[in-house]
């Protein structure tokens, strides 16, 4: 399935803000991605991940192998900026109600997908995660991750993250009355490409039903874990934990426990987490505004100090656009000095498709809102921005209840903040005779690389585009 061209509106720069880290305006791409085989209620876009020219999108309600067995889709970007479905993936031991695709993480040549309700070795709702490897042509399941200390109702795979050679899988537990201690499993890829168990992380002050592992993030030797049902500041006020790997021993240690400076019950601080170097973000999507509006949501930013301590530096909200039940911070992604925060809205009756807020850091003014994004074809209840991921150049935004193809079949929208080099088919940075030869050799065929206008076939229209930019260097 080819990406559909749509519009993103409301992409205005906030007053007084001059974005620096990204060319935030104009947007180069605003492409809607849908599954090639949409079915009512698949919830494609429930989770998303992106890295470079590939993205993975979860559809945990897909019924391909029974009710809610789930699936995930890998999309690849062509040189023109259009995205194509590369492969639909499912596990080799797929079962109904597994919710495969409830969490996804894209890595370099590998991806991880969670199936948090999958039974494992007779253990009810133990959950699991799968590794898929790319061989240059297709994606193949290479491993199912089953740690020795996996237990019934762990719901392993509720959250996943991948960074370099490290995969992190959250197992927050099944519910309020099951008395399950949440945990996080860490795997590391060896020289042969096998992912081997490395550690099980737990909170130093672990309590039943804190939902430790409900969200996870990793950057190098640093892992952040959300526990949004922790009760330190009231029922479900929430907390987050920072773990770091010691270089000499290779062991992971808890180095900080974080909570909001204004924490209160039901905020669910830690419902999502994201980390980038010495900066991390923790969302509390049910935080209440001081004016009395409930579930407006907030995102808290923390910075690592010279001596290793973490300090809250700012609280972000939707500010003047704040509405009740907006659940700002339902999804977050931070890279460098740019943060994306999703607000899919739970207002009743549903009145909004959802929004994405983009914040940039300014040395003079701190973190300020730079963009507010909404889909031009959005409808109330789409849950646009229930999931979001950003890799520093491109963002992908899930809309799990979008009805573009079928009711609640879902979609995702890709935004690019870098200029694509249309016509550079072979990727060498120059549009020349080599690219012309590649186009001619694929003429009349479907070729992701040579289909410059994204209409699904290489034809005279693509040839015209190539001739128009012939001889130019990529920006």
> What are the structural domain ranges in the chain?
4-420, 426-475
Q: Is 172's pLDDT higher than 90?
A: yes
Pairing between β-strand 29-33 and β-strand 384-390 as defined by DSSP bridges: unpaired
* % of the chain beyond a pLDDT of 90: 74
Report helix, strand or coil for 105: strand
Return d(Cα 333, Cα 353) in angstroms, integer. Answer: 20
Q: What is the pLDDT of residue 377?
A: 86
- Report which of 116, 311, 275, 93 is spatially closest to residue 211, judged by C-alpha positions: 116
CATH code at 426-475 = 1.10.1330.10
Residues 192-243 have pLDDT tens digits of 999 999 999 999 999 888 999 999 999 999 999 999 999 999 999 999 999 9
Contact 315, 344 (CB under 8 A): no
Report helix, strand or coil for 155: coil
What does the pLDDT average to over 307-324? Answer: 92
Domain 4-420 adopts which CATH fold? Methylamine Dehydrogenase; Chain H (2.130.10)
Q: Is 416's pLDDT higher than 90?
A: no
Residues counted in the chain: 475
Q: Which two tokens stand for residue 117?
A: 């309700």
Pairing between β-strand 54-59 and β-strand 71-77 as defined by DSSP bridges: antiparallel
What does the pLDDT average to over 16-26? Answer: 40
Residues 125-152 have pLDDT tens digits of 999 999 999 999 999 999 999 999 999 9
CA 470 to chain centre: 36
Q: What is the pLDDT of residue 272?
A: 98
What does the pLDDT average to over 391-406? Answer: 94
Q: What is the pLDDT of residue 13?
A: 37
> Residue 30 — pLDDT band, cuts 50, 70, 90?
low
Tell me 460's DSSP state.
Answer: H
The least confident of 97-101, 107-111, 381-385, 423-427 is 423-427
> Residue 178 — pLDDT band, cuts 50, 70, 90?
low
What does the pLDDT average to over 178-195? Answer: 91
Q: What is the pLDDT of residue 446?
A: 80
Q: What is the pLDDT of residue 17?
A: 36
Contact 109, 161 (CB under 8 A): no
Mean pLDDT of the chain: 90
Return d(Cα 400, Cα 162) in angstroms, integer. Answer: 22
Q: Starting from the edge strand earliest in sequence, which strands make up the sheet with 103-106, in order?
A: 103-106, 110-115, 128-134, 139-145
- What is each CA distance from 430 to 164, 449, 465, in whole angstroms? 30, 15, 14
Q: Which two tokens stand for residue 17?
A: 């803000």
- Report which of 46, 50, 13 is spatially closest to residue 344, judged by C-alpha positions: 46
What does the pLDDT average to over 256-268? Answer: 96
């Amino acid at each position: 399935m080819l990406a559909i061209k749509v519009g993103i509106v409301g992409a205005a720069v906030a007053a007084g803000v001059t974005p620096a880290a990204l060319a935030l305006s104009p947007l180069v791409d605003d492409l809607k991605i849908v599954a090639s085989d949409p079915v009512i209620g698949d919830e494609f876009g429930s989770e998303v991940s992106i890295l470079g020219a590939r993205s993975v999108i979860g559809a945990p309600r897909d019924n391909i192998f029974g009710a809610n067995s789930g699936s995930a889709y890998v999309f690849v970007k062509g040189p023109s900026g259009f995205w194509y479905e590369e492969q639909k993936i499912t596990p080799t031991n797929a079962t109904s109600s597994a919710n495969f695709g409830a969490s996804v993480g894209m890595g370099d040549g590998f991806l991880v997908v969670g199936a948090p309700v999958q039974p494992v070795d007779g253990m009810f709702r133990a959950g699991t995660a799968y590794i898929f490897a790319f061989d240059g042509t297709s994606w193949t399941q290479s491993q199912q991750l089953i740690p020795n200390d996996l237990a019934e109702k762990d719901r392993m795979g509720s959250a996943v993250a991948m960074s370099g050679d490290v995969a992190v899988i959250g197992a927050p537990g099944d519910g309020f009355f099951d008395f399950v201690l949440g945990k996080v499993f860490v795997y590391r890829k060896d020289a042969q490409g096998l992912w081997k168990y490395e550690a099980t992380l737990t909170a130093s002050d672990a309590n039943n039903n804190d939902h430790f592992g409900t969200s996870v993030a990793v950057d190098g030797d640093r892992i952040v874990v959300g526990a949004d049902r922790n009760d330190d500041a009231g029922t479900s006020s929430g907390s987050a934990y920072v773990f770091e790997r010691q270089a000499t021993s290779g062991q992971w240690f808890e180095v900080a426990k974080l909570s909001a400076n204004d924490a209160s019950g039901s905020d669910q601080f830690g419902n999502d987490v994201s980390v980038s170097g010495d900066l991390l973000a923790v969302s509390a999507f049910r935080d209440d505004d001081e004016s009395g509006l409930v579930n407006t949501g907030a995102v808290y930013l923390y910075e690592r100090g010279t001596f290793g301590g973490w300090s809250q530096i700012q609280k972000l909200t939707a500010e003047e656009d704040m509405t009740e039940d907006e659940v700002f911070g339902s999804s977050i992604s931070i890279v460098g000095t740019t943060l994306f925060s999703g607000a899919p809205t739970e207002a009743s009756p549903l009145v909004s498709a959802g929004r994405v807020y983009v914040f940039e850091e300014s040395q003079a003014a701190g973190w300020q809102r730079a963009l507010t994004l909404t889909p031009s074809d959005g409808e109330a209840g789409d849950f646009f921005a229930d999931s979001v991921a950003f890799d520093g150049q491109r963002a992908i935004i899930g809309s799990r209840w979008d009805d573009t193809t079928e009711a609640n079949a879902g979609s995702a929208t890709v935004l690019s903040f870098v200029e694509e080099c249309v016509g550079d088919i072979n990727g060498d940075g120059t549009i020349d005779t080599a690219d012309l030869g590649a186009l001619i050799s694929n003429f009349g065929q479907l070729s992701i690389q040579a289909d410059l206008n994204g209409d699904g076939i290489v034809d005279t229209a693509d040839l015209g585009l190539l001739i128009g930019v012939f001889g130019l260097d990529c920006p």
